[in-house]
């Protein structure tokens, strides 16, 4: 029996070896414009600086909507908490992520002697101030954004929860709307969709004070990624499952290249997406770390 097993083993070794040697030789490129937006870079740099010196830091909500990056920082000592846990803390440092927070969070911090490390994106802070000023003028504030999104909750808090939030034009009851409104947008929404909503409201006879508050570093990536996706046989779009921006940009790539595939980690890659020698483009959301896209590139290089 041992002799038979040795014989079978020797027969199979050349076949296994030849399969391992045969590589798909994919031509893989990473989009240089993809990766964290400056707001996320700022928040992560602040977190890493404190973690390096103190070894622990609380963060209110995921610091970025990417599980792989959150896991990396958790290994360094970052502790993700929610608002319920925040209310229980005393005398510690808490990071406010790029999405921003409503005024109630800052009041709670004062009451509980919490030191807030405010990494709110400057674009979001500017938007919060504009909405608060508009609300104080007793104007009707409408916010185009995703229900329950952290940034939107922060914006809604500037109006004592009285602004109207909608994520599609179809949600609006035109017959019950005031005849004059101030229109704002979550910073990561599509400019095309925002102005389409503005146009429809105007056509319906509603006077709209339109405030384009969309971050151009984010919105410009739509056109950039469409152009990028057209250059390749296959596109691998890397993003966290929770990222709203990721969903929008993935759709943009998919419309430009139907062979676009969404992955959140290396485990999502599938060999049947590719054929030998094909050109593969890797890109991602504003919440996608470059190191994760590089991991995907390196993995495909082994195939």
Alpha-carbon distances of 170 from 166, 167, 196, 209, rounded to whole Å: 9, 9, 12, 20
User: Is-contact 250 204, C-beta < 8 A?
Assistant: no
The Cα 293–Cα 75 span in angstroms is: 20
Q: Nearest 10 degrees: CA dihedral of 241, 246, 248, 252?
A: -120
Provide the 3-class DSSP secondary structure of residue 112.
coil
Alpha-carbon distances of 187 from 98, 100, 118, rounded to whole Å: 11, 11, 18
The Cα 67–Cα 63 span in angstroms is: 10
Strand-strand pairing, 260-263 and 234-238: parallel
What is the DSSP code (8-state) at residue 29?
Answer: E
- Residue 151 annotated in active site: yes
The Cα 15–Cα 234 span in angstroms is: 29
Considering the candidates 151, 170, 278, 294, report the single residue annotated as catalytic: 151
Q: How far apart are the first and last CA of the chain?
A: 36
The Cα 72–Cα 193 span in angstroms is: 35
Q: What does 123-159 look like in DSSP terms, one character per residue?
A: HHHHHHHHHHHHHHTT--EEEES-TT-HHHHHHHHTT
User: Using only C-alpha atoms, what is the Rg of the chain?
Assistant: 24
Catalytic annotation, residues: 151
């Amino acid at each position: 029996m041992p002799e038979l097993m040795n014989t079978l083993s020797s027969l199979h070794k050349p076949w296994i070896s030849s399969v391992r040697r045969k590589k798909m030789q994919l031509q893989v490129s990473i989009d240089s414009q993809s990766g964290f937006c400056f707001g996320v870079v700022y928040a992560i740099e602040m977190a890493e600086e404190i973690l390096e010196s103190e070894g622990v830091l609380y963060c209110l909500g995921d610091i970025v909507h990417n599980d792989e990056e959150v896991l990396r920082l958790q290994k360094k000592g970052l502790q993700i908490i929610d608002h319920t846990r925040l209310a229980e803390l005393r005398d510690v440092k808490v990071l406010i992520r790029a999405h921003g927070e409503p005024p109630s969070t800052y009041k709670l911090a004062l009451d509980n002697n919490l030191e807030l490390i405010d990494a709110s994106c400057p674009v979001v802070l500017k938007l919060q101030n504009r909405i608060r000023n508009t609300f104080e003028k007793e104007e009707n504030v409408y916010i185009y954004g995703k229900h329950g999104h952290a940034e939107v909750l922060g914006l809604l808090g500037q109006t004592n929860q009285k602004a109207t939030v909608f994520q599609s034009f179809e949600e609006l009851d035109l017959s019950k709307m005031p005849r004059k409104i101030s229109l704002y947008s979550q910073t990561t929404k599509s400019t095309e969709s925002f102005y389409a909503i503005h146009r429809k409201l105007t056509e319906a006879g509603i006077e709209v004070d339109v405030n384009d508050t969309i971050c151009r570093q984010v919105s410009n990536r739509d056109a950039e990624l469409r152009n990028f996706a057209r250059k390749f046989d296959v596109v691998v779009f890397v993003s966290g499952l929770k990222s709203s921006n990721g969903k929008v940009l993935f759709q943009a790539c998919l419309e430009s290249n139907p062979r676009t595939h969404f992955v959140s980690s290396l485990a999502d890659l599938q060999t049947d997406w590719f054929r030998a020698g094909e050109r593969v483009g890797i890109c991602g959301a504003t919440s996608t770390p470059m190191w994760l896209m590089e991991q995907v590139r390196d993995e495909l290089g082994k195939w």
